[in-house]
Structure 1
Amino acid sequence: MEKLKKLQDYLRSLESVAVAFSSGVDSTFLLKVAKDTLGDKVMAVTAQSCSFPKRELKEAIAFCEKEEIKHVICESEELSIEGFAQNPKNRCYLCKKELFEKIQKIADDNGMKAIVEGSNLDDNGDYRPGLQAVAELGIKSPLRHCDLSKADIRALSHYLHLPTWEKQSFACLSSRFVYGETITEEKLGMVDKAEQLLLNMGFHQVRVRIHGMMARIEIEPSEFGKLMEDENREKIAKSLKEYGFTYVTLDLMGYRTGSMNETL
């Protein structure tokens, strides 16, 4: 509760904010606290692109309608950014820089004094080139500023009765590609459909990493048994091949964030 109060005080010091809102655990919590603290001096901005699943966009729209928050959806087509499709190691930097420049214009047009985004304390420990763009453009990171970890955010989200308190962690679909492998709209669609299938089948935390035309599935080790049931295994393999994958594999290490960074 002390960290929640610290966050509220920090948001008050910013006076008015545009929240980069993805409908994920962190940005939903940040937007809710901002709305409760600043009232109408808050707006949400969500980027729509081929690397952002439709289900996440729908959830973002529904949340803002429920909470009566002004919501702007901007087009942010990453594949048109020079160099992005080649998936360099600084891919996330290129994307975030372009996105936050667009959000800056929207915030200025709506009289918002600050732009805030939802990275948390745990993000300091992984390779996060997007945070370089955040720093360069003067974007505020209230959750990191107030030392809120993912566990803190989930606990406080539960306290605030947010449906996202136990939502699976999510990152943009471009993060499923091996560095240096060309990102295409077709392959993004393959990954999106594959992950949606697994979620529809009741798997909680999923990633489908793409290596050429091979799918490497990451799920929680506790759910390995469920995936290996004949009916489920056969359905997943058949469906992913229909989506365009040649080979379908299970990563024996299970789900973990940033597994594509293990080669860096």
Structure 2
Amino acid sequence: MWIPRPGFKSRPRPFIPLQEGDYVIEKNIKELGQRLKNFNKVLVLYSGGVDSGVLLKIANDFTNTIALTVVHEATVDSSIRRAKHFCSVHGIKHLIVNISVLKNPYFVRNDKMRCYYCKKAVHRIAKQTAQKFGCNAIVDGVVADDFADDRPGLTAAREDGILHPLYEYGITKRDVYMIAEQLGVTPTPPQSCYATRIAYGIEINSAILSRVRSAEEKMIEEFGEPIRVRYFGEYVMVEGGKKQIEGMRKNENIVREILDYTFPECSRVIINPVPYKGW
């Protein structure tokens, strides 16, 4: 059985403010890298996003590193492509493992613990992989901001011994983008799986995931990223960055054409006026 080595603490440590200049950023990167190096070999849960991408780049620069991307029915295709490209460019050993979350009735019923059950499945694969390849720690890209939200997935991580180095160093999402620029990591819009687009209480199945995926891909093709299409049963809401909101408001006929066709049972289509996570 894989047993994690003692490593990071359970709460953030002081982190030197990154706005003090490039030298300070380099100092923080080096300190975090040295801490990761102490594990000799680490497994990074890599989603293809900027948070785990920054962590993966630092880990790979300092120690023996394997990236693991776990794919399931609700995974966003663009995330997989980004993960493959990133690891190829930086010469990082990358493993992709497919699982099925739709076989788990607790996930399918789609209550507020949905992410917990998904993460438990992901972590089982991660622990098996870590044991197989002799990794002494499993780490992910959770940042300090993430603990401001109610995230059952973090409970699963705590239970399974998954470490959060960026969080432990008090690194915020804003800090991640500054570090990404320093490391040459391309920032990407926040991304989560398609299951998060479906309102709690609505059963998740392959049909609804397919419709959400299709609608979102068409909307992104028209208006760019980020775009989120959220399904509430009686209505559908679309979110985007400032640029996307402006484009959708100017072309509401296109928005309605796409979403009315994909979700004919919905009586309303709503464009959320609030930019998605600051974009």
- Normalising by structure 2, what TM-score? 0.84
Retained in 1: the 8 A contact 2:226–2:244? no
Correspondent of 1:150 among 170, 173, 178: 173
Please tell me whether residue 255 in structure 1 is matched to residue 276 in structure 2. yes
Correspondent of 1:106 among 101, 104, 129: 129
Match of 2:43 in 1: 18
Please tell me whether residue 81 in structure 1 is matched to residue 104 in structure 2. yes
Match of 1:234 in 2: 253
> How does 1:21-100 map onto structure 2 within 5 Å?
21-38=46-63, 41-100=64-123
Instruction: Write out per-residue CA displacement over residues 96-116 of structure 1, whole angstroms, 9 at most, x where no aligned residue.
Output: 011101111011111111111
Give 1:243 deviation, angstroms. 2.4
C-alpha distance in structure 2 between counterparts of 1:183 and 1:171, whole Å: 15
2:172 alignment partner AA: S
Please tell me whether residue 204 in structure 1 is matched to residue 225 in structure 2. yes
Q: How many residues align?
A: 251
Instruction: Write out per-residue CA displacement over residues 157-189 of structure 1, whole angstroms, 9 at most, x where no aligned residue.
Output: 0111112x2x11111111112111111111112
Give 1:130 deviation, angstroms. 0.3
> How does 1:141-180 map onto structure 2 within 5 Å?
141-163=164-186, 165=187, 167-180=188-201
1:217 alignment partner AA: V
Retained in 1: the 8 A contact 2:223–2:244? no
Retained in 1: the 8 A contact 2:219–2:258? no
Instruction: Point out where structure 1 has 5 or more consecutive residues left out of the alignment.
Output: 258-264
C-alpha distance in structure 1 between counterparts of 2:46 and 2:204, whole Å: 24
Moved more, 169-178 or 121-130: 169-178
Three-state SS of the structure 2 residue aligned to 1:237 is helix
The 1:60–1:223 alpha-carbon spacing in structure 2 relative to 1, beyond 3 Å, is: closer
Please tell me whether residue 7 in structure 1 is matched to residue 26 in structure 2. no
Correspondent of 1:126 among 149, 159, 167: 149
Instruction: Point out where structure 2 has 5 or more consecutive residues left out of the alignment.
Output: 1-24
Give 1:214 deviation, angstroms. 2.5
Retained in 1: the 8 A contact 2:223–2:248? no
- Normalising by structure 1, what TM-score? 0.89
C-alpha distance in structure 1 between counterparts of 2:214 and 2:175, whole Å: 31
The 1:85–1:173 alpha-carbon spacing in structure 2 relative to 1, beyond 3 Å, is: same
Match of 1:260 in 2: none
Q: Aligned-pair RMSD on alpha carbons? A: 1.8
C-alpha distance in structure 1 between counterparts of 2:275 and 2:88, whole Å: 36
2:193 alignment partner AA: C
C-alpha distance in structure 1 between counterparts of 2:28 and 2:213, whole Å: 35
2:138 alignment partner AA: I
